Each structure stands twice: as C-alpha cells, then as structure tokens.
Amino acid sequence: MAVVTAATVKELRERTGAGMMDAKKALTEANGDIEAAVDALRAKGLATAQKKSSRTAAEGLVGIEVAGLKGVAVEVNSETDFVAKNDQFQDFVRKVTSVALTTGDDVEALKSAEYPDGGSVGDKLTSSIATIGENQSIRRIKTVSVDQGVVVSYMHNAVAPNLGKIGVLVALEGDVAADVLEPLGKQIGMHIAAAFPLALNADGLDAELIARERKIAEEKAAESGKPAEVQAKMVDGAIAKFAKENALLSQLFVIDNKTPIADVVAKAAKDAGGKIVLKDYVRFQLGEGIEKEETDFAAEVAAAAGL
C-alpha cells in the first residue's frame, strides 16, 4: 500500500476543497493515486470538478505572435522564474515564436528551423542552456489561421510585449471590418484566459474526459437509489451540463455571466450586418499539466509525525 504523505493530502485538498480526513481517506482507498482520489471524492459529492491543478509549477514564458491572417503560441519552459525575467531568455522566446509562424505545430520541426541570428533553433536552445546555466525546453506550439477576418492575441500577466504566463489567440472568420472584429476578439480572448474552455464546442471535448465524467456521474446516480431510468436521465443531464460549461461556444460570457459566447458572436455579426464565425482558439497557460517537485519541510515533518 502506498504511503499517504502530508504533501499529497495537502495537494488533494487544494485541488478539491475536501476536508483533511476525507482527503486522507480517499488517498488511502486509492492507494495514493491522486487522480483516482479526486474522482472518488467527486463521486461522493465531496469535491467539485477541477479543470487543472492549482499547482501549475513549471516556469518559463508563453510567446504569441500574429502576422496577417495567422497566429502562433509557443511555450518555452525553464527551471526558475528568475530565468523568465532574463533579457536573453525573453529574446530567445520572442524569436522562436516568430520562427514558429512558418514551421507549424511540430516542436522538432521548429528546432530544426533556421534561427534569425544563425544556426538552428535547436543550436540556439543548447547555447542558451549553456550560457544561462539552467535547463530549458520548447514544450508545445499551436497555430491558428483564417481565410478572411482576423486572428487576435491576448496576453494575461504579460512580462513583456507578447510574452507572459497565459497566451490566447482567437481566430474570427468574417466579412466585417477589422475594427469590429478586433475588439470582439480581445473580449473573447479575455474570456478564454479566465474561463479555461476545454474545446471550441461539445463535439471537440476529449472522449476519455467525457468517459471519466460519465463514470463519476453514474456513481453519483447509483447512490441516489432512484430507478434505473431516472438514474440514466441524471447521468445524461450531468454530461450535458459538463459539456455546456467546458465548451467555449456554450460558456457564459464572463463579462455579463448570462450570454453564451455563440450568442455574443452572433449579435456582433448582426449589429455589423455581416458574417462572423469563431473558427478556433488557443489558450496556453505556462506549466499547464506539469507538476514541479517541491520540498515542503513542514509537510515532511507532519508526514514523519504520522499525519
């Protein structure tokens, strides 16, 4: 049986809002598997859904750039936030992002591409690691484009122009003027940064994620003791609610908390007398999905004392 430490109990509580004893019991029953413990707590109604860990701990920068009808977001990781404030590192991320506009979404292709100052991007990355003295990596890339319209960028927590912690791109296809599309895209970009949609629409939600949510909903419904047909409706309702809250087009606009994003876009198109389609988006949050090993002395002492 896995040892349940104070640190894992603390992380589970941060992610779920569960009480200490509930968190410890869930971890014990899940043999230390924190994801299984999260699901167990949610099935028991002791936790709310979390789209991401509260401890996105990797450092570095997200870079975004738009050129014409195309935009790109790139995440470059470092070991410490100190490096992210380094002028040399910022220059590297800025130039790599610019190169990525021409290479597509493949990290290896980007590394093989020519760097503006000579050599390849991969060569420059190696040089940057040696010069700064800290490991760095190009983690991911995503491009979006439109045939007609605009790609709008938004950077939350910017540390320099187009560099920061949360980078967003919004691709709006349309036949209306840029002075209509640009502010609309900026508002939607701010919404995306805050609301963390998981897909553009319900059909785009990950099948494994939906299956996981369905399993949790089925466990909750089973505990209700209601007839099977009622339980089935409860499960379908829970999945529909999850999809609505996590697909961008059906999310409620953070500015008024009542209008679905799809309706916000439709109203803008009607007011402009043209056509606007929210074609795609990118949301890169620095360190999303990465957990950095941390030393928590107080937690270690508590664990040693047998929490």
CA dihedral 285, 291, 295, 299 (to 10 degrees): 100
**Cβ–Cβ under 8 Å, residues 144 and 281:** yes
The distance from CA 190 to its chain's CA centroid, rounded to whole angstroms, is 14
Tens of each residue's pLDDT in the chain, 307 residues: 567 888 888 888 878 877 888 888 888 888 888 888 888 888 877 765 554 333 334 799 999 999 999 999 999 999 888 888 899 999 999 999 999 999 999 999 999 999 999 999 999 999 888 888 888 999 999 999 999 999 999 999 899 999 999 999 999 999 999 999 999 999 999 999 999 999 999 999 999 999 999 999 998 899 888 999 999 999 999 999 999 999 999 999 999 999 999 999 999 999 999 999 999 999 999 988 775 554 444 544 444 444 4
* Sign of the C-alpha dihedral computed for residues 171, 140, 54 and 163 taken in this order: negative
Compute CA distances 261 → 96, 180, 188, 198, 277, whole Å.
32, 16, 8, 14, 11
Give the whole-angstrom CA distance, residue 236 versus residue 155.
Answer: 36
Estimate the crossing angle of helix 20-29 against helix 6-16, to 10 degrees: 110
Q: Note the pLDDT of residue 12.
A: 83
What is the model's pLDDT at position 92? 96
* Per-residue pLDDT at 51: 43
With residue 11 as reference, give the H or E element that holds it.
helix 6-16
Distance CA 72, CA 120 (A): 19
φ and ψ of 9, to 5 deg? -60, -45
